Amino acid sequence: MTLKKDFSFKIFIIYILIFLVSSFLSIYFGSTDINIFSSNLIQTNNDLYLKILELRMNGLIQAAIIGAILALCGYILQKLLRNPLADPFILGISSGGSCFASLFFIFNSLPIISSLPLTILFPIQSIFAFIGCMFSFIILILARKNIKNLNDDYIFPVIGIIINSFFSSILMLIFSLAKPEQLSEIHNFLMGSLQPISIYPLLFIVTLSIYPIYYILKKSKFYDYMLFGDDFAKSMGINPVKLRNNSILMICILISLAVSTSGIIAFIGLIIPHIIRKIHRFSSYFEIIICMILGAIVLVNADTLSRSLFSPAQLSVGIFTAILGAPMLSFILLNRHKI
């Protein structure tokens, strides 16, 4: 068992400073560059600049929360499943959530649903995504129990491919049923897009993510014990079944919040935990905190690039995370004995 170092406050400050710099760049750059310190904010175009600033701030908070959630979920999944390739996207959990969330777009055209206020519509979409995430996880666990002759390094990714293929076929059905005006909305959603959202969905995400994150941090020291199997966890006074089930529930809540907001954003949950474990050897509690901060940094910068590189066009942020994550996945597969 690798010895864990004490937490370094200096390293924590460095990550916070990087996040603050990334946040400033995210607010400044885009289809219209703005300077939050400029006197333009108090001139005749004050309303326009304030509106842009509000959208950028909401987008910054959204990207930071989603990045932190995805990195956290990837870290815990790799601990719980004892698999370095565990990730919400690779395992098909994000696909299940996004498929059910896309189904909500079809029902959203019904008069009885479309007439509801936004403060109710977004929670309903999150519930759809949560059902999809739980359904995917149930398929994953049941399939694992019934497959005995495959190496653990590959069993979960293989099942994840099957789950992703299954939900891809469901999505094709959804596309065929969708109205023309819904197709673009569903397509952008599935590409992993951080479209600007109002303050109400942001408050909903923050509120519902507090307890799952608190629970995971509270149980953080137990996840290291789970790496050595259920018998070892029991010898340390842990109920592994209860811990695993409760943690899976918390993860599905978090992933459903992320998916219902931004669609599928791949590989954040895979690459960030590996980077943290390669660079640092802290206790799980502080590794989780640093993992969340780095996840926020990566997604905030990816969002900035998606808005700035081909301005005024805005690309889907999922494109940049896939470009970053695909080579990282290849590296992990080729060097898994070193990681």
CATH number for 202: 1.10.3470.10
DSSP line for 78-130: HHHTT-TT--TTTTTHHHHHHHHHHHHHHHTTSHHHHTS-HHHHHHHHHHHHH
pLDDT given at position 230: 80
pLDDT given at position 296: 94
Return the C-alpha torsion angle 228, 230, 236, 237, nearest 10: 160
Report how far residue 240's alpha carbon sits from residue 154's, in angstroms, rounded to the nearest whole number: 23
Answer yes or no: is 259 within a domain. Answer: yes
Which residues have C-beta within 8 Å of that of residue 51, sequence separation ≥ 6? none
Q: State if pTM tops 0.85.
A: yes
Nearest alpha carbon to residue 307 among 297, 298, 317, 293? 317
**Tokens at residue 278, please?**
């390669």
**Tokens at residue 104, please?**
């909500």
pLDDT given at position 197: 75
Answer yes or no: is 294 within a domain. Answer: yes
pLDDT given at position 41: 47
Answer yes or no: is 49 within a domain. Answer: yes
Answer yes or no: is 170 within a domain. Answer: yes
Q: What is the mean pLDDT of each run of 10 residues along the chain (339 residues)?
A: 62 92 85 55 60 82 92 91 83 88 79 70 85 89 74 73 88 82 77 76 88 93 84 86 89 90 84 86 86 93 84 76 76 61
- How many CB atoms within 10 Å of residue 142? 11
pLDDT given at position 73: 93
How buried is 20 (Cβ within 10 angstroms: 0-12 exposed, 13-18 middle, 19+ buried)?
exposed
Which residues have C-beta within 8 Å of that of residue 166, sequence separation ≥ 6? 92, 139
Single-letter amino acid, residue 88? P
**Tokens at residue 304, please?**
């900035």
Q: What angle do CA 210, 205, 184 make, to 5 degrees?
A: 155
- Residue with tokens 């996040």, as numbered in its chain: 19
First to last CA, the chain: 14
Q: How many domains does the chain have?
A: 1
pLDDT given at position 39: 47
User: Residue 215 sits in which domain range?
Assistant: 9-338
Answer yes or no: is 1 within a domain. Answer: no
Length of the chain: 339
**Tokens at residue 294, please?**
């780095």
Report how far residue 61's alpha carbon sits from residue 54's, in angstroms, rounded to the nearest whole number: 11
pLDDT given at position 244: 87
Report how far residue 260's alpha carbon sits from residue 98's, in angstroms, rounded to the nearest whole number: 7
Answer yes or no: is 69 within a domain. Answer: yes
Answer yes or no: is 172 within a domain. Answer: yes
Answer yes or no: is 18 within a domain. Answer: yes
